[in-house]
Chain A
């Protein structure tokens, strides 16, 4: 893993302006920022860990806990809100028995609230593993979760 980090840092360069890009690339590979990877970045770039955490925790994109197998993002943008994304979130929470920013015990699903995915004309929208599902209803959620649980890709 640390050799990958070395590669990523070499691609971007060690300048302080590249820190965010470097963290983004590490997260793209590992799906989150582990304690070890932050320590490696700190050493390689000669930036204190505290400062890296300071930057990383400021931005919503960065995760510090390994997410579940399927990432469910529910859009909470304004268009989605007025078209009923809050009840969708209620249904998701009760089906999965987790709150946003949590992962189910079996490690299958993570739930995340996102501000806007820019697909407002399809509101309300959710994204599962980078696939956009538009014009969602509470009913469709149950069906979608069943498909994902059974390992189907639809």
Chain B
């Protein structure tokens, strides 16, 4: 038995900051130091704290090292493993107290979370089925197979689980519809087409705990009476696809998938379908069209997928997080799950907390947790002394909640009442440097490009809204534009075929509701208060501060800055493309480059 285990994160985030090289170096040096027998190195999936990656945890000491570099490995071995001393400089620093926090469980980011769906993430090796099994995996499946499908659906219904893809439809009811539907064969689909830009919960779960999703899908298949499952994953997530494919292989070998699962009279298999880059394919009917090899365009409902889905057969579609909740519900019981969160909205919510926040990453909290608690107690607030302005939930289909409403509970109903949506779990924190007009324009450019073009309100409407927002951003807005935006928004909302169009105006409507004065500043005074909209800002060099070091002139990609050495430099506004490289490269002590607006 090894005395210690080193867990090293190999999620996409940590891999990009070189965790595979660190793992290799660790294994090599442990060998050199004769510790290979005593210390086990284990790869895990995402810990959720990608921003501080690469992350390395030493157990049983429970020490959490972050932003580890290959060069640090030697010291970790010599100082920590051999001398038993903790290396202070690699510990997490609390942004509020400035103190080093050695213990994993004491870090605010983790301490204030309640991990149910993410319980295994970062603790097991996603490529080892035995790791999943020793963490209680496949117990739920065994239990399931000893129950009748109706009993399984009953447990799911009683747990109060609602779809985590965004709509919040009761999962048990959805399963029942499909079970009752006539037609054979039936299909179950895991929707892992996580298209919301700014969200990565589903990717992380698939990378860190693929068997949980797999087990959930098999249970769904049993409950509904399906023999075939699909998982539809974005092609942009190669690691998630690789890990899931490997999980399928090992599950088949162990008899958790395939013919006569666990020796029972139930056969079920899963096929991976890769998305090809279309946001609208997150919509159920579009997703099914794509699975059938067609253009991913939505079709009117009814018929609902439960009646006529893939290949015209009854089909049930659930999000990754919904399915990952299923094994826990069956093993710990419906009452246990229902006791978490709110009545009518039980369980936990998983968010990808990103943007202008000190600790960004994956966060899981009980439904109904106040927004401020997520942003401040887990996220550590807004960094660099800036002020919290708003939080954006639900991606391009959602809206912005202003800082003044930060006490709002995060659950399906409360967010909808504030004009936003829960969505699949993107939570982007905005500070004073975020321009709400620019953000709305950004979201509309996204939905406009992703509109499949089938129905005119969405196809033409989003384009018109985008044009008006572009005009306002460029300083050519007129007072009547705001009313036009609102009229268009309601037409698109009411007239669109699917949820993409139906929710596309939300970012504009919520920012108009809470930040109207910012639009008016752009229109009436041609000002961008957040200093973002390019046509309304300019860069200048303060002659009293410039020391003539010439760094900005050398970095400028268009040669717009001139000046002799040790003399004040000047920006040629005709040439300047306002990329901000001068602003960024001016030495912090000098800060001579300034951003201005009217």
A116 and B196 contact, Cβ closer than 8 Å, known pairs A91-B581, A121-B50, A138-B584: yes
Contacts of B235 in A (CB 8 A): 24, 61
Contacts of B278 in A (CB 8 A): 58-60
- The contact sample of 12 A-B pairs, CB cut-off 8 A, is A78-B197, A78-B443, A79-B197, A81-B197, A90-B577, A95-B557, A118-B237, A122-B16, A122-B51, A130-B238, A134-B16, A142-B555
Contacts of A35 in B (CB 8 A): none
Complex partner residue of A122 from B50, B273, B274, B555, CB under 8 angstroms: B50
Tell me if A137 counts as interface (CB < 8 A to partner B): yes
Give 7 A-B pairs besides A94-B577, A123-B355, A134-B13 with Cβ atoms closer than 8 angstroms.
Answer: A58-B278, A78-B198, A115-B277, A116-B236, A130-B238, A137-B584, A139-B581
| A19 and B296 alpha carbons, distance in the complex (Å) | 13
Tell me if A8 counts as interface (CB < 8 A to partner B): no
Within 434-462 of B, Cβ neighbours of A (below 8 Å) are at 434, 439, 442-443, 446, 450, 452
Complex partner residue of A139 from B49, B395, B585, CB under 8 angstroms: B585
Q: Are B12 and A119 in contact (CB under 8 A)?
A: yes
Least CB distance, B517 to chain A, in whole angstroms: 20
Q: Are B274 and A21 in contact (CB under 8 A)?
A: yes
Contacts of B196 in A (CB 8 A): 116
Q: Are B197 and A20 in contact (CB under 8 A)?
A: no
Q: Are A79 and B354 in contact (CB under 8 A)?
A: yes
Q: Are B51 and A20 in contact (CB under 8 A)?
A: no
Chain B interface (Cβ < 8 Å from any Cβ of A): 12-13, 15-17, 49-51, 53, 194-200, 203-204, 234-238, 273-279, 290-297, 352, 354-356, 360-361, 392, 395-396, 426, 428, 430, 434, 439, 442-443, 446, 450, 452, 555, 557-558, 577-581, 584-585
Q: Are B197 and A138 in contact (CB under 8 A)?
A: no
Identity of the chain B residue whose Cβ is nearest the Cβ of A116 in the assembled complex: B197
A17 and B354 contact, Cβ closer than 8 Å, known pairs A59-B276, A79-B428, A91-B579: no
Contacts of A44 in B (CB 8 A): none
Contact mask for chain A residues 34-47; partner B; CB cutoff 8 A; 1 contact, 0 none: 00000000000000
**Of listed A54, A60, A115, A137, residue having the most chain B CB within 10 A:** A115
Least CB distance, A134 to chain B, in whole angstroms: 6
Q: Are A131 and B16 in contact (CB under 8 A)?
A: yes
Q: How large is the interface on A (under 10, 10 to 19, 20 to 34, 35 or more residues)?
A: 35 or more
9 closest Cβ pairs, A-B complex = A132-B16, A60-B277, A78-B198, A77-B197, A59-B276, A121-B50, A116-B197, A118-B200, A79-B354
Complex partner residue of B276 from A17, A24, A90, CB under 8 angstroms: A24
| A21 and B232 alpha carbons, distance in the complex (Å) | 12
Within 18-33 of A, Cβ neighbours of B (below 8 Å) are at 18-21, 23-24
| A87 and B396 alpha carbons, distance in the complex (Å) | 21
Least CB distance, B549 to chain A, in whole angstroms: 14
A78 and B12 contact, Cβ closer than 8 Å, known pairs A17-B292, A118-B203, A119-B50: no
Chain A interface (Cβ < 8 Å from any Cβ of B): 15-21, 23-24, 54-55, 58-62, 76-84, 87, 90-91, 94-95, 114-123, 125, 130-134, 137-139, 142
A116 and B442 contact, Cβ closer than 8 Å, known pairs A16-B293, A87-B580: no
Identity of the chain B residue whose Cβ is nearest the Cβ of A55 in the assembled complex: B295
Contacts of A59 in B (CB 8 A): 275-278, 296
Q: Are A21 and B273 in contact (CB under 8 A)?
A: yes
A116 and B276 contact, Cβ closer than 8 Å, known pairs A82-B430, A123-B354: no
Q: Are A82 and B579 in contact (CB under 8 A)?
A: no
Q: Are A142 and B197 in contact (CB under 8 A)?
A: no
| A87 and B537 alpha carbons, distance in the complex (Å) | 13
Contacts of A90 in B (CB 8 A): 577-579
**Of listed A19, A76, A90, A132, residue having the most chain B CB within 10 A:** A90
Contacts of B203 in A (CB 8 A): 118
Identity of the chain B residue whose Cβ is nearest the Cβ of A21 in the assembled complex: B274
Contacts of B49 in A (CB 8 A): 121
Contacts of A133 in B (CB 8 A): 16
Contacts of A24 in B (CB 8 A): 235, 274, 276
Complex partner residue of B555 from A18, A54, A60, A139, CB under 8 angstroms: A139
Least CB distance, A25 to chain B, in whole angstroms: 10
A138 and B273 contact, Cβ closer than 8 Å, known pairs A20-B293, A82-B439, A122-B17: no
Q: Are A121 and B354 in contact (CB under 8 A)?
A: yes
Contacts of A79 in B (CB 8 A): 197-198, 354-355, 360, 428
A61 and B276 contact, Cβ closer than 8 Å, known pairs A122-B50, A123-B354, A134-B16: yes
| A80 and B290 alpha carbons, distance in the complex (Å) | 28
Least CB distance, B374 to chain A, in whole angstroms: 15
Least CB distance, B17 to chain A, in whole angstroms: 7
**Of listed A58, A121, A122, residue having the most chain B CB within 10 A:** A121
Identity of the chain B residue whose Cβ is nearest the Cβ of A59 in the assembled complex: B276
Least CB distance, B171 to chain A, in whole angstroms: 25
| A130 and B12 alpha carbons, distance in the complex (Å) | 11
Identity of the chain B residue whose Cβ is nearest the Cβ of A120 in the assembled complex: B354
Q: Are B584 and A120 in contact (CB under 8 A)?
A: no
Identity of the chain A residue whose Cβ is nearest the Cβ of B196 in the assembled complex: A116
| A95 and B579 alpha carbons, distance in the complex (Å) | 12
